[in-house]
Amino acid sequence: MTEKRPQQIYTLLVEVGRKSGDGLPPKATGAALVCYASGVDEAEAVRETVAILKQADLAPLDVSGYGTLEERLANGDEIEDEERDLMDRALAENSVVVAQMTPFFD
């Protein structure tokens, strides 16, 4: 029997393009989303995030991973309590939390 690997939370930056019904501002050309996603590894977290964003009528173009909380702390990132709370929520709900959306304009 293989041991079940624990869920971890990964910080992902997702770039999205335009799609009908995406809810972005009318003149935006796309957006960047900071997401906290659960997964047993970063690949699973990315797959889950892309699937959920597509269900929400967004058009994911590119995903950059910034690692787990522990990896980010080891890299010297300062992580505010609010950010940790969102990570805890994503872990507790085994879900994806979109923490920030920044629209792009030309």
In a domain, 40, yes or no: yes
In a domain, 90, yes or no: yes
* pLDDT higher than 70, residue 33: yes
Average pLDDT over residues 48-65: 96
5 pLDDT band (50/70/90 cuts)?
A: confident
In 3D space, the residue among 103, 104, 102, 99 whose CA is nearest the CA of residue 34 turns out to be 99
In a domain, 27, yes or no: yes
* pLDDT higher than 80, residue 97: yes
In 3D space, the residue among 58, 10, 15 whose CA is nearest the CA of residue 36 turns out to be 10
**Calpha distance 63→46 (Å, rounded):** 7
Residue 102's pLDDT is what? Answer: 96
What is the total count of domains within the chain?
Answer: 1
34 pLDDT band (50/70/90 cuts)?
A: very high
* pLDDT higher than 80, residue 53: yes
Residue 106's pLDDT is what? Answer: 85
Which residue shows structure tokens 């702390």? 73
| Residue 93 exposure: Cα atoms within 13 Å on the Cβ side | 11
In a domain, 1, yes or no: no
Q: What is the pTM of this model?
A: 0.91
85 is in which domain, residue-wise? Answer: 8-104
